[in-house]
Structure 1
Amino acid sequence: MTAATVLQDAKPLHIPEGASGMTILVEWPPGAAGTPPHRHTGPAFGYVIEGEVRFELEGEPERIVKAGETFWEPGGDVIHYQDGNARTDAPCRFLVTMLCAPGKPMLTLVDEEELAQRAHLRAPRPVN
């Protein structure tokens, strides 16, 4: 028996030269929209501790990541559209470990003009 279980194995990885790493705990109350569209300078690896996270990366359909599941994003130019709480009746909590390029912020918000210019790269939105 082993004490370790592989939860995700992400490839390929681009790690910026001289990168630093950080792990953060994100806690969203019920129904929280999360961080506005943004990007990271390096890859980010997440694990949902509690609840459900609405997750969407540029070029991929929106999905729900539930407690005990993982997610990752490559960083760089890819826009991270959503990371909010998918439930209106319960909080969510998740851990994210990110590698950041030296001298760059961990997270950069994307403005409306760039979102409009890159709209063709976003996966079709779910029909409600």
Structure 2
Amino acid sequence: MKTDHTHHLDNPDKSGPPPKLDVVGTVPGAPPAPEGAEAMTILVTLPPNSPGAPPHRHSGPAYGYVIKGAVNFELEGDPVRVVRPGETFWEPGGDVIHYQDGNHLADEESQFVVTMFCAPGQPMLIPVSPEELEARRDRRAPRS
């Protein structure tokens, strides 16, 4: 089932054409935000060749959009993919490990905007210990 997300904003009292809205991504069946969550939108700038954040998880779902460069994105159980400008990514949060969000480019910076729904009293990013990474190694997609 596909939902029509188009919008038509006609306002005859204003001069000029109405805005054009394009849906660039959706997440069917996304998990709900934690009870009392704080929504936080951040702009992340990755210098050339930056590995990004260490393996981590979030207390709630996160949804992002690459605006510049190219980002390596890897969630537990999924292969690494390169997300380019105009493309979106999301993660469910909770127990899923986010392995990579580094800059795919060695010679220019990359940027993405991400909105996270953080559980009250929890940090936005919770690092995963080397011991837990080793214990969950079988859940990581094969790497080439």
**C-alpha RMSD over aligned residues:** 1.0
Q: Give me the TM-score of the superposition, normalised by structure 1.
A: 0.95
Aligned partner letter, 2:58: H
Using the alignment, how far apart are the partners of 1:97 and 1:76 within structure 2?
A: 15
Q: Deviations over 1:29-83 (max 9, x none)?
A: 1100000000000000110010000000000000000011110000000000000
| Counterpart mapping for 1:31-50 below 5 A | 31-50=49-68
Identity of aligned residues (%): 59
Aligned residues: 126
Using the alignment, how far apart are the partners of 2:32 and 2:127 within structure 1?
A: 21
2:139 matched residue in structure 1: 121
Query: Which residue, out of 38, 49, 52, partners 1:20?
Result: 38
By relative contact order (CA 8 Å, sep 6+), the higher-ranking structure is 1
Relative to its length, the structure with more strand (as a share) is 1
**Is residue 78 of structure 1 aligned with residue 76 of structure 2?**
no
Q: Which has the larger radius of gyration?
A: 2
Q: Give me the TM-score of the superposition, normalised by structure 2.
A: 0.85
Using the alignment, how far apart are the partners of 2:33 and 2:128 within structure 1?
A: 21
Unpaired runs of 5+ residues, structure 1, are none
SS at 2:79 equivalent: coil
Using the alignment, how far apart are the partners of 1:93 and 1:12 within structure 2?
A: 24
Moved more, 79-88 or 9-18: 9-18
